[in-house]
Structure 1
Amino acid sequence: MQSLATAHPQIALGALDGRYRPAVAALVDHLSEPALNRMRVHVEVEWLIHLTEQQVVPGVRAFTGDEKARLRQVVETFGPDEIDEMAATEKVTQHDVKAVEYFLKARLREIAPADADAGLAELIHFCCTSEDINNLSYALMVQGAVQQVWLPRAEALVETLATMASDLREVPLLAHTHGQPATPTTMGKELAVLTYRLQRQLRRIAGAEYLGKINGATGTYGAHLAAVPGADWQEISRTFVEGLGLTWNPLTTQIESHDWQAEVYADIARFNRVLHNMCTDVWTYISMGYFAQVRGQGTVGSSTMPHKVNPIRFENAEANLEVSTALLDVLASTLVQSRLQRDLTDSSMQRNIGTAIGHSLLAIDNATRGLAGLDAVPEAMAADLDANWEVLGEPVQSAMRALGAQGVPGMQEPYERLKELTRGRRIRQAELVEFVRGLGLPAEVEERLAAMTPQTYIGIAPELVDHLD
């Protein structure tokens, strides 16, 4: 059998780089291996500029405005040729960050040839361990991926759900607790519950801190002080990290501790779990006929049953949320651990960040498309309500309890009396009204309860939707 890998070397091994590539392609600019190398170049360039602007090393001139612009242009124009060049260099160095250093030294010789030959190039990667560059690169990559790609898509999904909750706020729905008919609510209120939970997680994710450090091989500034003892290295480090848009971590080993990553991934995983709950609930509402899936979208519901429109968007989302959450969980638990001052488990683990967030993004895309294909069916919801008049046993016995507490005679054992009427059997409106009128209730209470229907017994459910952002 012919090898597909040999015949077609571009075939993707994973689904995200294969059939689902269009839904997650935006993450490539942030979380791919080339994106990591581009961000490493960015950090190295800014560190070089920072050192020279601050005149950290005596006698070293600052770059001109044109030279700084050209250095930064190296980052802006980083593309396929540069990816190939760096890959070739890494084959020689057998070290990814060292390949970045050599790549940038070659560019500096083009931008400032005289100064580069005189030794200015030695300030590239000055006093840095690889993790100084990597931790800042990953922080910027994850920050960009979350804030520029994942969060806007998640917010759009939640906004869609919020709009549905508002539109359906008045539509009565037979609730089900433990799978059994329960106190009616509205479809809008139930969607609002899910929306509220998702909004809360989005606020946490939007407020995440992204930490970084640049303090040497064991976080002591040892090489820094040996090279330039008169410099305020903590201040140089702090201003550089904060200048990148990150929060400075002053206390680290060789690695930045990654606690912030664990926090972000845990929050995204929690969002995933709530979204998974939304998908299973909506899937169930579809199976009950409360939502109709809009036909005419060019989809095949079943290969053999032409009448079917399967809820595949929600099922696809469920699967991808489970994959994403599992990866995020292992990232969060592994990245906070490091033997003594350094081990390399984090290096291998962080290469899976794109996959973890990618599956979440894919799920968000599917869930969004799934919601867009739904039409509520109030008639189906009304039919189930009309078939379950026994749910009004709750308001009747509650009213009797209140009256009994006030000393009204004949209100004893309301729960037991309603249980005898309703448990394990279906009752109709006439039977319930007859029961209510035989209780000896005050006239106003009797008329109110006799007029109640499962459709009107929804409390303040529509008003509760107003608690959404």
Structure 2
Amino acid sequence: MADSALSRVEFAALSRGEGTSLTLGPLDGRYREAVAPLIDFLSEAALNRDRVHVEVEWLIHLTRHAVLPGTEPLGADQEAALRSVVTSFDDGSVAELAEIEAVTVHDVKAVEYYIGRRLEGIGIGHLKPLVHFGCTSEDINNLSYALGVKGAVVDIWLPAARSLVASIADLARSSRDTPMLSRTHGQPATPTTLGKEMAVVAHRLTRQLDRIAATEFLGKINGATGTYAAHYASVPQADWQDVARTFVEGLGLTWNPLTTQIESHDWQAELYSDVARFNRILHNFCTDVWSYISIGYFAQIPVAGATGSSTMPHKVNPIRFENAEANLEISSALLDVLAATLVTSRWQRDLTDSSSQRNIGVALGHSLLAISNVAKGLARLDVAEDVLTADLDGNWEVLGEAVQMVMRAEAVAGVGGLDDPYERLKDLTRGQRVTADRMREFVGGLGLSEEAEQRLLDLTPARYTGIAAQLVDHLG
């Protein structure tokens, strides 16, 4: 090995952030700033903090309900001291837990011992047997994950997503009346307005966000196989279902009364499917915007000092939308796997969910990164109205639909000589460009009623947008 090469020890130190940051995944390296808010909810440290939180609250809950003979509610100072174990959770706490786990070889058991070490100092050392009382590891884990996912979605992901959709809606409103040539199957088609097309996207995304906002974050605390067997064996006189329900609801979660050892994760699968669907709609938006940029409908505002191409100085590349596409695809793939995997568990429990759930932060992180990139991309766009106008003026054949429909209506009303309107317009327009003069000449020779003829003669591609502008108002 060359003298300048890093040793494995030196490289490991760098990867821990001791000096230049070297990481295996881009979310913890290049893109860390964009996804950093999720760390407080979905990192390994956050999971352990939430485990401590659940264990502490369970101990307080048991004493408040005086479930066990000989116990009584803690004093306010004792409860505050217990909760400070959570609020003071820091790097030192993470290191201590790691040391304990190195001995227990069990992450949740390490949390139990971590809390037990602190009870003597609070003056409640005699309550050490109540820590983790009646619990299996999954009782703690399912609640901790639910709290972490809820916080990440409600406090971080949803606000970012709603802010982005609001920006798309603002673009829809500002371009409400801007006529634009449609392209169905990639071919010139009945004109619309840019605002209406942006409104369609905002409406679709909003529906998904409303579904996500209505998510029920379920939790359970009912023992090794969901039967409360240990609970009733030890304290048969307690109403353990009520104790469990009030505890779960007290955490701000929805109680699941019927489970195996694990909370079934169906709510997670539902949530991840909804987020993946949001991702895919946003991905469609990115590809459309990319295409509009490529034909000049949007002009990109250059960033001072930025380089578009290492060799072609004229270029301003739509990199924000391309980056978002890739990250949305990665996020959706992970979310699909989570949704498919988490609903399945062999008999009363297997451990596949343990490894799967450790990737929740990665899945939501790539989505959040994409949202950030789309927002930045949108902020650097200008609508090129002159290009949109020129495109409309070059495609008078799209009025063929209007002309043949007016011919049909006139024929029904008894105006003669208007047979085979579709075929006549097909002969005029298919596979060829039609000028304004040629279209007006054709209309003038149809023998329409005076009112209908004038209506068509006044029509231009830019005016043939129906009520597209009004439809934007559905956004509210």
**What secondary structure sits across from 1:173 in the alignment?**
strand
Q: Does 1:59 align with 2:63?
A: no
**Structure 1 stretch displaced more, 173-182 or 57-66:** 57-66
Q: Does 1:93 align with 2:104?
A: yes
**What secondary structure sits across from 1:59 in the alignment?**
coil
State the distance in 2 between where 1:28 and 1:239 align: 29
CA, structure 1 residues 5+446, in 2 after alignment: closer, same or farther (shift >3 Å)? Answer: farther
Which amino acid letter does the alignment assign opposite residue 267 of structure 2? Answer: W
State the distance in 1 between where 2:142 and 2:351 align: 13
Q: CA deviation at 1:3?
A: 4.8
State the distance in 2 between where 1:332 and 1:294 align: 39
State the distance in 2 between where 1:185 and 1:311 align: 24
**What secondary structure sits across from 1:432 in the alignment?**
helix
Q: Does 1:162 align with 2:174?
A: no
**What secondary structure sits across from 1:448 in the alignment?**
helix
For 1:342-398, what per-residue CA distance to the aligned partner results, in whole angstroms no more than 9, with x for missing partners?
000000100000000000000000000000000000000011100100000000000
State the distance in 2 between where 1:5 and 1:77 align: 33
Give the gaps of 5 or more residues in structure 1: none
**Structure 1 stretch displaced more, 103-112 or 430-439:** 103-112
Q: Contact 2:266–2:343 (CA<8 Å) still a contact in 1?
A: yes
**What secondary structure sits across from 2:462 in the alignment?**
coil
Which amino acid letter does the alignment assign opposite residue 343 of structure 1? Answer: D
Q: Contact 2:97–2:111 (CA<8 Å) still a contact in 1?
A: yes
Give the gaps of 5 or more residues in structure 2: 16-21
- 1:16 is aligned to 27
Which amino acid letter does the alignment assign opposite residue 290 of structure 1? Answer: Y
Which amino acid letter does the alignment assign opposite residue 25 of structure 2? Answer: G
Which amino acid letter does the alignment assign opposite residue 41 of structure 2? Answer: H
Q: CA deviation at 1:298?
A: 3.2
Q: Does 1:78 align with 2:85?
A: no
State the distance in 2 between where 1:400 and 1:246 align: 62
Q: Does 1:280 align with 2:287?
A: yes
- 2:326 is aligned to 319
The equivalent position to 1:225 in structure 2, one of 232, 254, 270, is 232
| Runs of 4 or more consecutive aligned structure 1 residues displaced over 6 Å after TM superposition | none
Which amino acid letter does the alignment assign opposite residue 89 of structure 2? Answer: F
State the distance in 1 between where 2:7 and 2:440 align: 72
**What secondary structure sits across from 2:27 in the alignment?**
coil
Which amino acid letter does the alignment assign opposite residue 338 of structure 2? Answer: L
CA, structure 1 residues 4+421, in 2 after alignment: closer, same or farther (shift >3 Å)? Answer: farther
State the distance in 1 between where 2:7 and 2:453 align: 77
The equivalent position to 2:258 in structure 1, one of 235, 245, 251, is 251
Q: CA deviation at 1:320?
A: 0.1
Which amino acid letter does the alignment assign opposite residue 8 of structure 1? Answer: F
Q: Contact 2:174–2:195 (CA<8 Å) still a contact in 1?
A: yes
**Structure 1 stretch displaced more, 231-240 or 407-416:** 407-416
- 2:389 is aligned to 382
- 1:291 is aligned to 298
**What secondary structure sits across from 1:48 in the alignment?**
helix
- 2:220 is aligned to 213
Q: Does 1:6 align with 2:13?
A: no
State the distance in 2 between where 1:253 and 1:297 align: 58
Which amino acid letter does the alignment assign opposite residue 43 of structure 1? Answer: V
Q: Contact 2:410–2:449 (CA<8 Å) still a contact in 1?
A: no
- 2:58 is aligned to 47
Q: CA deviation at 1:4?
A: 7.1
State the distance in 2 between where 1:403 and 1:71 align: 82
- 2:119 is aligned to 108
Which amino acid letter does the alignment assign opposite residue 7 of structure 1? Answer: E
For 1:73-109, what per-residue CA distance to the aligned partner results, in whole angstroms no more than 9, with x for missing partners?
1111111010111011110110000000000001112
State the distance in 2 between where 1:296 and 1:96 align: 47
Q: CA deviation at 1:451?
A: 1.2
Q: CA deviation at 1:296?
A: 3.3
Q: CA deviation at 1:297?
A: 3.9
State the distance in 1 between where 2:475 and 2:85 align: 45
Which amino acid letter does the alignment assign opposite residue 231 of structure 2? Answer: H
State the distance in 2 between where 1:248 and 1:387 align: 62
Which amino acid letter does the alignment assign opposite residue 32 of structure 1? Answer: S
Q: Does 1:193 align with 2:204?
A: no
State the distance in 1 between where 2:9 and 2:313 align: 40
State the distance in 1 between where 2:276 and 2:171 align: 24
For 1:243-293, what per-residue CA distance to the aligned partner results, in whole angstroms no more than 9, with x for missing partners?
000000000000000000000000000000000001000000000100000
**What secondary structure sits across from 2:230 in the alignment?**
helix
- 2:18 is aligned to none
For 1:4-25, what per-residue CA distance to the aligned partner results, in whole angstroms no more than 9, with x for missing partners?
7533322210000000000000
State the distance in 1 between where 2:303 and 2:44 align: 40
Q: CA deviation at 1:468?
A: 1.2
The equivalent position to 2:455 in structure 1, one of 435, 438, 448, is 448
State the distance in 2 between where 1:323 and 1:225 align: 46
**What secondary structure sits across from 2:274 in the alignment?**
helix
State the distance in 1 between where 2:458 and 2:50 align: 68
- 1:460 is aligned to 467
Q: Contact 2:193–2:469 (CA<8 Å) still a contact in 1?
A: yes
Q: CA deviation at 1:432?
A: 0.4
CA, structure 1 residues 4+357, in 2 after alignment: closer, same or farther (shift >3 Å)? Answer: farther
State the distance in 2 between where 1:166 and 1:249 align: 43
**What secondary structure sits across from 1:16 in the alignment?**
helix
What pairs with 1:354-393 in structure 2 (closer than 5 Å)?
354-393=361-400
**What secondary structure sits across from 2:188 in the alignment?**
strand
State the distance in 2 between where 1:440 and 1:72 align: 86
Q: Contact 2:301–2:380 (CA<8 Å) still a contact in 1?
A: yes
- 2:19 is aligned to none
Q: Contact 2:169–2:199 (CA<8 Å) still a contact in 1?
A: yes
Which amino acid letter does the alignment assign opposite residue 440 of structure 1? Answer: G
Q: CA deviation at 1:406?
A: 1.8
State the distance in 1 between where 2:394 and 2:430 align: 14
Identity %: 65
- 1:336 is aligned to 343
Which amino acid letter does the alignment assign opposite residue 76 of structure 1? Answer: T
Q: CA deviation at 1:65?
A: 0.2
State the distance in 2 between where 1:427 and 1:345 align: 63
Q: CA deviation at 1:299?
A: 2.0
**What secondary structure sits across from 1:175 in the alignment?**
strand
